[in-house]
Homo-oligomer: A and B are copies of this chain.
């Protein structure tokens, strides 16, 4: 999944600490991410959180996508800030999962809180659902 992920490469997002239902993503806010108010565009804060969410909900193997997300912006990020998004699984039932993702500055301040809702669409490598089509390259 990481090997084909052009977004993490282009934005120099690092993914680490992947465990079942968990993932952490890190990114530095660049000049290109600043909006007309002089603060980081909320879209990039979301994107980082969504990335941690994606790696966490795909950590179990089967291909899983975001169905919906809610994000609350608590404090702005600025150019040069090193942001860390940590995702952890809250509940998983059948094909549905709920994940909580916090985005923090290097000093630990919370910038944003996201809740992500996932749905599993087909098995990854090692999956057992023979009807679901060929294995994913990711």
> How many residues on chain A are close to B (CB under 8 Å)?
53
Tell me the chain A residues, 96-134 only, with Cβ under 8 Å from chain B.
Answer: 96, 98, 100, 102, 110, 113, 115, 117
Number of copies of this kind of chain in the complex? 4
Dominant SS among interface residues on chain A: mixed
Residues of B within 8 A of A68 (CB): 68, 70-73, 117
Q: Give, as a whole number of angstroms, the nearest-CB distance from A83 to chain B.
A: 13
Chain B nearest CB, measured from A85 CB (Å): 11
Those of A51-86 within 8 Å (CB) of chain B: 51, 54, 63, 65-76
Q: Check A69 against B42 for contact (C-beta < 8 Å).
A: yes
Tell me the nearest residue of chain B to A64, going by C-beta: B37
